[in-house]
Homo-oligomer: A and B are copies of this chain.
Amino acid sequence: MQAVSPLALRLQAFTRLSKDDLAAIERVTRKGGKEVGARRDLIREGDKPKFIYLIQEGWAFRYKTLPDGRRQIVSFFIPGHICDLNVYILKEIDHNIGTVTKTRVAEIGRDDFERLMIEHPRITQALYWDELVTVAIQREWTLNLGQRSAYERISHLLCEMFLRLEAVGHTEGDSCYFPLTQVDLADATGLTAVHVNRTLQELRQHNLIVLHSKRLTIPDLAALKDAALFNDNYLHLNHEGAHLDAND
């Protein structure tokens, strides 16, 4: 189905990997393959962390809830995304991971993972880069929720997802598959679905987006970025030089 694992694709945005590295990634990710249906929970709060999850195909998200049912999506996972490097160190998971679409994941055990990191320092470093980017995204979400208006917030999320999808080759020109419902967007932006709907109308009126039938088109990305006060430095894709000290 796919020639290259989306993880490998993603990591190569940071550093070049050898054939040997790539083969090791393929091996490890092929091992714990698993299919999960749409709108299912993959991990539940309170679980004992056993595996590192790698999203191979499909969309998922991490979410947290309050006792009265309020719920916040705290991050989205798209192909190539690793959930929680080193997480087996913790005793208990403090959040949930749910799927949006049908999803193919690889469950990677602690031992396999540690072996991979010991035998492939280049991969190890790339994984830490990946982890740092994930945390940086989490911080940007904090800024998003704390300071941006509804209009800016939604624009920002759309920009971010588009750029992340682009990085793993999941866009076609100025459009992409986009399976999130307005309720998902609301839970991710801390707004209500009603207000998300209003705001999407507004974005459409301004010709910043076309969104229907699970397809998002952004005719003028620069304009949407402006509306979002989007600064892509937090995605750390501008990495020339960052890997110069890795031994080739």
Asked if A166 is at the interface (CB within 8 A of a chain B CB), the reply is no
Question: Which of A23-31, A52-60, A142-150 has 4 or more CB atoms under 8 Å from chain B?
Answer: A142-150
Q: Given the complex, which residues of B lie within 8 Å of A135, measured CB to CB? A: 134-135, 138
Total chain A interface residues with beta-carbon distance under 8 A: 51
Asked if A34 is at the interface (CB within 8 A of a chain B CB), the reply is no
Instruction: With a 10 A CB-CB cut-off, give which of A68, A70, A188 has the most chain B CB atoms.
Output: A70
Once the chains are docked, how many angstroms separate the CA of A239 from the CA of B139? 26
Residues of A within 8 A of B (CB): 45-46, 62, 64, 66-68, 70-72, 74-75, 84, 86-87, 89-92, 94-95, 125, 128-129, 131-132, 134-136, 138-143, 145-148, 188-190, 229, 233-234, 236, 238-242
Q: Given the complex, which residues of B lie within 8 Å of A74, measured CB to CB? A: 139, 142-143
Once the chains are docked, how many angstroms separate the CA of A95 from the CA of B233? 10
What residue in chain B is nearest A233 (Cβ atoms)? B94
